[in-house]
Chains A and B, each alone.
Chain A
Amino acid sequence: MASTTAARESVPKGSDARGSGPRGSGRGPGPRGRRRRLLFGVAGGVAILVGWQLLSVVVNPAILASPVQTAIALGELASGSTLWIQVLITLRRLVIGLAVGAAAGATLGVVAGLEPRLRSFFEPFRWVGMTIPAVVIAVLAMLWFGLGDFTVMFIVALIVLPTMYVNTMAGVLAIDQKLVEMGHVYRFPRRLLLTEIYLPGVASPALAGLTLATGIGVRAVVLAEVLAAMSGVGHAFSRAMSYLETPKLYAWVVVLLALMAVIEFGFLRPVKRRALRWRKATE
């Protein structure tokens, strides 16, 4: 029965034209277009390395280590246990701080999106949170809690929170009211409105917010570790700086970028792909 129906539906009709999309508008990349774009991406990466190498020839090596020197320093770091220990310390702080900050921001964002009065009430907090420089938050947190793990996580959470809040709230406000009406007609209880309409509708902007927040979180954790910790990648970086171990300094920068790449490709993208699977058909 399904097949006869499908056949019937495949007769071209006005309404069916909507599925065909903007063909030939140049937006849809074929396999060839995609490969070409990938090539350009790789070329950009190579350009960074080449530029770095060229600069390192002319600039004082105490200021700028060459890519090769950096790679050697990185190899030395990686052969011992320090690198991995510091990375784990930083990663743990990042994950906990990010999780707490993002969860709090998302929760407050949902609440504020649903309730205009709370939205107004939170507005000054949001403004302060987004306006105050990260380094000021870090310094104040040090003042309040001293150096250490908790301070770093606190800083990360606080810096991440407003971004997550704003994105989630925007998502709630952008919820399709027609779907909400549908939910009311069919008498969805609160729980069902949340799981069927609000949460999936918010998931996409919230995930975009999480991506942003993660980027901010990595910067925040490094900043916090430079200032307020005696361990972690940020601290190691700052120590290399004090001892003028330039290749090591750059090696830590590379470690940070690698850390970010792992988070992005190992965590953020798969989560996004899974959560937004239903969109595939639209694209």
Chain B
Amino acid sequence: MITFAAVSKWFDSLQVLREISFQVAQGEIVSIVGPSGVGKTTILRLIAGLIQPDEGRVEVVDAVQGYVFQEPRLLPWRTALDNVAAPLRAQGCSKRQARSLAADWLARVELAGFEHYHPAELSGGMAQRVSIARAFAVQPRILLMDEPFSNMDVELKASLLVLLQRLIRQLGTTVVYVTHELLEALQLADRLLELTPERDLREVELSDRAAVARAWLAKIQPLL
């Protein structure tokens, strides 16, 4: 479904990815964690075909993609409703059909009543939910999510995670999910990939999730 074979990527003289290899099977949910600036977003952009690798090979089966960008990336001149509707129209829906579907999805991310707000009138978390609704609405076969639940409180995050899980089960969506929150990744992911500060990609064994969580908590404990 998604294959990275010895992929390297430079930005000018800065090597961001160093011979990264991994595969994601159809319907798999893979989480990528790692510190800031290590190249997580770059991996998603490679999968989306927005950039090309300098070395190695990226293979992605041609499929409808949904992408929750790290920032909401909404059309500032369109309402929340029309932001969600636009990709549906790209898929060939009529304007009316697209809007009615879009309204459904906005309701599902708890934004009923905000259909006619412009992005500038929404809070950061609300705008991010519009972006999530937009990604789900296209019924993607591949869903790329870049820290989708930042800016959101715990309850909202939990309800969106449930929604996400349902969607994934319904559509058999392949998910690549970038997050800083290991616990979130543990809740959702089939597999966990860690980009280390040394720019290696490491697969974290998930047979004992509790142990992984404990190790994580031990790591952040000094901060508590």
Contact = CB atoms under 8 A, between A and B. Distances in A.
Interface of A: 1-6, 8-9, 11, 13, 15-16, 18-19, 178-179, 181-182, 184-189, 192, 196-197, 200-201, 203, 278-279, 281-282
Query: Of A8, A19, A282, which is in contact with the most chain B CB atoms at under 10 Å from its CB?
Result: A8
A189 B134 CA distance: 17
B67 A185 contact: yes
| Majority secondary structure of chain B interface residues (helix, strand, loop or mixed) | loop
Which 10 A-B pairs have CB atoms at the shortest separation, nearest pair first?
A: A2-B113, A15-B124, A186-B87, A281-B120, A200-B77, A278-B77, A281-B121, A282-B120, A15-B151, A5-B110
A189 B91 CA distance: 9
Contact of A192 (B90, B110, B121): B90
Contacts of A188: 86-87, 90
B35 interface: no
Contacts of A203: 77
A44 B90 CA distance: 53
Nearest to A203: B77
Nearest to B48: A185
A1 B65 CA distance: 29
A192 B107 CA distance: 25
B118 interface: yes
B64 to A, nearest CB: 8
B217 interface: no
B170 interface: no
B61 interface: no
A17 B46 CA distance: 33
Contacts of B156: 5, 8
Contacts of B134: 186
Contacts, number: 92
B124 A18 contact: yes
A114 to B, nearest CB: 19
Interface string B166-201: 000000000000000000000000000000000000
B90 A16 contact: no
Given A18-B124, A281-B118, A186 B112 contact: no
Contacts of B87: 186-188
B53 interface: no
Contacts of A185: 48, 50, 65, 67
Interface residues of B, number: 37
A184 to B, nearest CB: 7
B86 A192 contact: yes
B202 interface: no
20 contacts: A1-B113, A2-B111, A2-B112, A2-B114, A4-B110, A15-B124, A15-B125, A16-B123, A19-B123, A182-B67, A185-B50, A185-B67, A187-B90, A187-B91, A189-B90, A197-B75, A278-B77, A279-B76, A281-B121, A282-B76
A224 B49 CA distance: 54
Contacts of B50: 181, 184-185
B132 interface: no
A201 B76 CA distance: 9
Interface string B47-85: 011100000000000001101010101011110000000
B83 to A, nearest CB: 9
Contacts of B124: 13, 15-16, 18
Nearest to B155: A8
Nearest to B124: A15
Nearest to B137: A186
Contact of B151 (A13, A178, A200): A13
